[in-house]
Amino acid sequence: MAGRKDYVNTKVTSNREQIEYHVKEILRLVGEDVEREGLLETPARVTRMYEEIFAGYEVDPREVLGVTFDEQHEELVIVKDIVYYSQCEHHMAPFFGKAHIGYIPSGKIAGLSKLARLVEAVTRRLQVQERITSQIADIIDEELAPNGVMVVVEGEHLCMCARGVKKPGSKTVTSAVRGDFRNNSALRSEFLALLKQ
């Protein structure tokens, strides 16, 4: 996603007129004056935003890892604090946070930026945090065939902070473990300790 070129959701682009119409209708139905100055360009702005925040639909996350390298490194590799933004599929409200990925190669490694691109490909669509966590772990497990994978995702959900129970500042943490991480508590502890540094 970022780094090579900015992807956009071409379905949004090709349906721009319809999306703008429906955004205008929603504004009208919630009681807004759609002809007032501040809202005249809102349907177009929302559509352009959708092109960007739903760009993940244009990317096959499994292809994001791309070229891998043969490398006999068999120790823990961690990329942490990968910032992401996503949209809750239940309320279409934003949630955002950080993803942390650790894996133990078994002869094959990915470029470090590819792991960040994988997070973007998975998060820039309607999602739930639990699925994001599992999808990242599963894709790394399937594409790199490492000895183990652990993914921890932290998220702050506006559907929980700004509505419903209204608990701003609350965070959700999810994890997924594969391979050696599943049965080795010392390895999980090492990963979690390194996240805190």
Tell me the binding residues for Zn(2+): 88, 91, 159
149/115 Cα distance (integer angstroms)? 12
47/12 Cα distance (integer angstroms)? 7
Question: Would you give the DSSP letter of residue 153?
Answer: E
Beta-carbon count within 10 A of 58 CB: 17
Query: Please, where are the H alpha helices in the chain?
Result: 10-14, 16-29, 42-53, 61-64, 112-123, 129-144, 158-161, 180-183, 185-196
Residues labelled catalytic = 88-91, 129, 157, 159
SS3 of residue 121 by DSSP = helix
Inter-CA distances, 193 with 76, 79, 122, 164, 170, Å: 12, 14, 26, 34, 22
Annotated binding site: 88, 91, 159
The residues pairing with 127 across neighbouring beta strands, listed in sequence order, are 88
Q: Write out the DSSP string of 173-195.
A: EEEEEEEHHHH-HHHHHHHHHHH
